[in-house]
Structure 1
């Protein structure tokens, strides 16, 4: 069981209309298990200014040859 803690100074969750400030994201075994107001934890914490939902490449020319 591996836990990872991320302090998001600004969290854009993709659900709320307004970004949330100072959130603690807890990830366990590659899954987000909790998002709560930031507080000190007795573990290493990754501090990030902005955390957003995942991005992927939406600009791909699938009709062009590759290589």
Structure 2
């Protein structure tokens, strides 16, 4: 994780973060291997801002947002 954070902070992680420096770590998840971590990162990139912000607040908020608006 430290290596990946350093990549992003130095502008080498992705062009998206390189254009938005400085960055701040607000959420992380540990994985036993790089492949699983990469797959999670790709999945999160596909989420909208509201869903990513909900993840920062906690999994319960994600579950709530996954329901149709009429059931929230």
Structure (1/2) with the larger strand percentage: 1
Bin for the TM-score computed over the shorter chain: under 0.3
Structure (1/2) with the larger helix percentage: 2
**Structure possessing the higher relative contact order (Cα contacts under 8 Å, 6 or more residues apart):** 1
Higher-Rg member (1/2) = 1
